[in-house]
Amino acid sequence: MSLTDDLPRFTALSARLTGFDEVALESTGLTGTYRAVAEEQLGTERYTRLVRELGDPGDAMDGELRDAARAVTHLWYTGSWPGPPPFVVSPRAYAEGLVWKAAGLKAPATEPGGYGSWADGGDLSRPGDEVEGNGR
Amino acid sequence: MTRYDVIVVGAGVAGSLVAHRLGGHGRRVLVLEAGAAAPASHEPSADPLTTYLTASAKVPGSPYRAHPAAPWPEVTDLSGTEASPGFRAVGHLRQDGPLAYASGYVRVNGGTGNVWTGLAPRMLPEDFDTESFGYGRRWPLTYADLEPHYRAAEAELGVAADADEQREHAGLPLPDGYVFPMRPLPASRVDRLLAARLDGRRVKDPASSCEVELRVVGTPHARNGVPDPRYDGGRGYVPRGRDGRPEPGNRCVGNASCVPHCPSYAKYTPLKTQGRWSPTVTLRDRSVVSRVLVDGRGRATGVEYRSYDGQVSVAHADVVVLAAHAVENARLLLLSRLADRSGQVGRNLMDHPVLLTWGLLPEDAGPYRGPGSVSGFEGFRTGRARRLRAPFRIELGAWGWAWAKGSVDSDVAHFLTEQGLFGAELRRAVGDRVRRQFTLQFEMEQGADPANRVTLHPRERDPLGLPRPLVTYDLDEHVKEGMAAARAVSDQIFALLDAEDHTDYSPAAAWPGRFSYGGRTYGYRGAGHAAGTHIMGDSAATSVVDAWQRCWDHPGLYAVGCGSMPSVATSNPTLTMAALALRSAERVEADLAARDRPGHLTPPPAPSAPQAPTPPSPTRGAST
Ligand SMILES: Cc1cc2nc3c(=O)[nH]c(=O)nc-3n(C[C@H](O)[C@H](O)[C@H](O)COP(=O)(O)OP(=O)(O)OC[C@H]3O[C@@H](n4cnc5c(N)ncnc54)[C@H](O)[C@@H]3O)c2cc1C
Ligand code: SF4
């Protein structure tokens, strides 16, 4: 199997594992990189089984496949392969970690929001609460 | 060989400031720095930001790579164990005490001051004498003695704070009309949430049985905010950017990575001071000082230092200032067998052991967007309760559970591995978890105790052949009582907030600092605030340095840094240390001026009491 052929399969698999759609994943610019990391770290055989056999991640998976699926999901969410030993793929991978997107945040040191941005975040009130903040 | 007026050992916060002041007086200053200033030609030239971003463990030293010849202790050198003594220490700093000394430091040019958080509160007047509360050691100087130097330090570090708020809610007697260089930083979302729910509410301190009113108070920051036009009698203040260059528009933009690296150079680092050094200051990096040299009468004459390949050199000067960090200063004095008439060198090691409690707010806490902590609760720092338990300052942590649990990677791993989630469920769970996280950081005062100490390891040596530092450390009842009170306060705060408490000091491996007390388990981290190893006092029999940070028996030898502090109290210590360093620089300058005066053949007698005339203080903001 050639390296590029199964990229769409890898992306589709990644979308099912992560809960982010293929457009969102492709916009990170990392699908090809992560595909390569996954194959290298899992070994071609396990990698191939993963992209071929995994229909729904909730389906009964054997232990080996489940671990592989977790590793790939972890990679997408954090930009690092879980190891052992763990490693960060690249500064870009760190910045694109889906964990930050899931929380509506930016990875620290990558896309600062500007002076005072840490104060924002919408309404502070809960029903029945009077809100003043401390005004600064 | 060039003859220098002053040799400064270590180019961290303290050393960089001393060199700056003396260079400003035209003094020839040689700064010997163990760490690297820049990568050598054969080394990878990664900048600190890239190195940090690609580090698996985003620990304080992660923007740098240690050279084996100048190693430093990293938090990952410590791990917890189930068996006694409950922890294991490997690497540069070895330990043999009952509990873990949980703090590290960094040996690159700029020192630990590269990676610090940048919180810069003053100490309170009562902090200078904890003996009246029945613990610790009294300072040989008072808050009033240090006050002008605090102002000078706030100018050098560029501090953003609100004078009225500091007066009213932190209890600082700031002079009338004083304004900080920059306006206070805007409160973070979690600060505003907690202020809205908690300001004016009362919680019970179980140690004193008193009720304490809660109020969220902004912390002074050594990071760029909006300059205050009223500063310095209306002259204002110009924020400094990279390498200390004036950059009027430089601001903290919320990178949320102050520890260990600020990509926008809004946070103060010693490199900003170095950028303003006069041409009479020379930095020699990759130079590990191994011994202080003295003449037959004990007067300092210079130092011996080693390059990374082990080659030994010597440099001479009239004054030697040790500014190598509390642990390394003590190590150097011990290696030199100097200044130990009192037997106190290396003793009285203090830190702020930090009790962390963490949980989930019912709503979005807005984590990971600004400085690590913007505000705190100041109500547990003062007063009679100090007799019964260690006082503490509560920092509101704004970086989720990062300090307690490591990076968000552990949240992802939790839902993936322990809960078996994938897809939309995973995305929802992770997002919700991270957004609602907050942490309370209780920084405990630890009193000076001679049993907590740095010695030279009897066998272990670093690659240059120098004995490694060995630490013996414990927490006394006073601190443990403080942690118990802190946990009780935390429980009440969580209840008032309707917050879910997730505090759990397990697994053991992740908590090298851990003990049981009164049937409850407590885990603590080290704040990185090493102090007390060359303690200051008013007698040569009981202290290592005098009120000017001069080693008692060695004219011309100073040991500056937090190591001189007789108490760390509850303030992050660096601003106080900077004030002391600037004050000592004036003393050094006065010594050198006396030397240069025609007809003065012998050094002037050392002013013995702290009441000796103070050299003129710098005017507010006069530093350039
Ligand atoms: C993660 C972290 C966060 C912190 N946050 C805060 C905060 O918010 N507020 C606060 O007040 N404090 C904070 N601190 C503490 C603060 O960093 C220190 O108080 C401060 O850096 C000490 O300054 P120093 O100049 O004494 O030592 P350092 O900054 O450590 O500098 C010492 C220098 O000496 C050099 N050196 C060491 N040995 C030798 C030798 N043998 N020969 C030559 N050179 C040598 C080192 O390489 C280094 O450059 C924090 C510390 C850490 C670790
Ligand atoms: S929050 Fe960001 S910009 Fe501000 S000081 Fe910290 S690292 Fe620098």
Task: Give average pLDDT by consecutive 10-residue segment, chain B, 624 residues.
Answer: 90 98 98 89 74 88 91 95 93 98 97 97 97 96 98 98 97 95 97 97 95 98 98 97 97 94 96 98 98 97 97 98 98 97 98 98 95 97 96 97 94 95 97 97 98 98 98 98 98 98 96 96 97 98 98 97 98 98 98 86 51 42 36
Q: What does the block give as tokens for B463?
A: 């690659």
Rounded-to-integer distance, Cα B540 and Cα B340, Å: 9
For Cα atoms B35, B36, B39, give the angle at the middle one, nearest 5 degrees.
Answer: 155
- Which member of B189, B225, B434 has the closest CB to residue A99? B434
- Chain A contact set for B374 (CB, 8 A): 118
Contact A134 B423 (CB under 8 A): no
Q: What does the block give as tokens for B111?
A: 């020192």
Rounded-to-integer distance, Cα B130 and Cα B198, Å: 30
Q: What does the block give as tokens for B125?
A: 């007047």
Ligand nearest to the CA of B285: 1
Torsion on CA atoms B260, B265, B267, B271, rounded to nearest 10: 80
- Is the preceding peptide bond at B60 cis, omega within 30 degrees of 0? no
- Which member of B50, B225, B416 has the closest CB to residue A91? B50
Q: What is the DSSP string of B445-478?
A: -----TTSEEEEEEEEE-TTSPEEEEEE----HH
- Which member of A20, A74, A88 has the closest CB to residue B416? A74
Contact B50 A19 (CB under 8 A): no
Contact B254 A78 (CB under 8 A): no
- Chain A contact set for B362 (CB, 8 A): 126
**Closest ligand 2 atom to Cα of B267:** 5
pLDDT attached to residue B458:
98
Contact B253 A90 (CB under 8 A): no
Ligand 2 center from residue A109 Cα (angstroms): 8
At A121, is the pLDDT very low, low, confident or very high (cuts 50, 70, 90)?
low
The helix or strand, by DSSP H or E, that contains position B211, with its residue range, turns out to be strand B210-213
Pick the residue whose CA is nearest to atom 50 on ligand 1: B116
- Which residue of A118, A124, A129 is the best one to mutate when testing the B interface, meaning the one whose CB has the most B CBs within 10 A? A118
Residue range B4-95+102-593 in CATH 3.40.980.10: no
List Cα–Cα distances, B301 to A107, A112, B4, B296, B432, in angstroms.
51, 49, 10, 10, 62
Nearest to B175 by CA among B163, B165, B184: B163
Mapping DSSP to helix (H, G, I), strand (E, B) and coil, where does residue A128 land?
Answer: coil
Nearest to A57 by CA among A46, A73, A41: A73
Alpha helices (runs of H) in chain A, residue ranges in sequence order: 7-18, 22-26, 31-42, 44-53, 63-78, 91-95, 98-102
- Is any atom of ligand 2 closer than 6 Å to the C-beta of B267? yes
Rounded-to-integer distance, Cα B402 and Cα B62, Å: 15
Rounded-to-integer distance, Cα A65 and Cα A47, Å: 9
Contact B427 A57 (CB under 8 A): no
Pick the residue whose CA is nearest to atom 2 on ligand 2: B255
Pick the residue whose CA is nearest to atom 13 on ligand 1: B116
Nearest to B67 by CA among B285, B282, B336: B285
- Which member of B52, B256, B423 has the closest CB to residue A19? B423
Q: Candidates B253, B272, B375: which one to mutate for ligand 2, based on the most atoms within 8 Å of Cβ? A: B253
Pick the residue whose CA is nearest to atom 6 on ligand 2: B258
Residue that the structure tokens 């729910």 belong to:
B197
Q: What is the DSSP string of B295-329?
A: -TTS-EEEEEEE-TT--EEEEEEEEEEE-S-HHHH
The helix or strand, by DSSP H or E, that contains position B89, with its residue range, turns out to be strand B87-89
- Chain A contact set for B185 (CB, 8 A): 116, 136
Rounded-to-integer distance, Cα B514 and Cα B104, Å: 17
Q: What does the block give as tokens for B596?
A: 């240069």
Ligand nearest to the CA of B160: 2
pLDDT attached to residue B65:
86
**Residue B143 CB partners (closer than 8 Å, separation 6+):** B123, B124, B125, B127, B128, B173
Residue that the structure tokens 């004078």 belong to:
B163
Cβ pairs bridging A and B (under 8 Å): 182
B573, B531 contact by CB (below 8 A)? yes
Pick the residue whose CA is nearest to atom 37 on ligand 1: B324
- Is any atom of ligand 2 closer than 6 Å to the C-beta of B223? yes
Ligand 2 center from residue B160 Cα (angstroms): 13
Ligand 2 center from residue B253 Cα (angstroms): 6
Residue of chain A with shortest Cα separation from B433: A103
Rounded-to-integer distance, Cα B289 and Cα B313, Å: 9
Q: What does the block give as tokens for B522?
A: 């407590």
Half-sphere exposure of A72 (CA within 13 A, CB side): 38
Rg (CA), chain A: 19
Nearest to B15 by CA among B532, B585, B469: B585
- Which member of B56, B216, B254 has the closest CB to residue A80? B56
Strands of B380-431 (E only): list them.
392-397
**Closest ligand 2 atom to Cα of B224:** 5
At A63, is the pLDDT very low, low, confident or very high (cuts 50, 70, 90)?
confident
Going by DSSP bridges, is the β-strand pair B312-322/B467-472 parallel, antiparallel, or unpaired? Answer: unpaired
Ligand 2 center from residue B373 Cα (angstroms): 11
Strands of B473-552 (E only): list them.
500-501, 514-517, 520-526
Question: ipTM of this predicted complex?
Answer: 0.89
- The residue among A97 and A122 whose pLDDT is bigger is A97
Pick the residue whose CA is nearest to atom 5 on ligand 2: B267
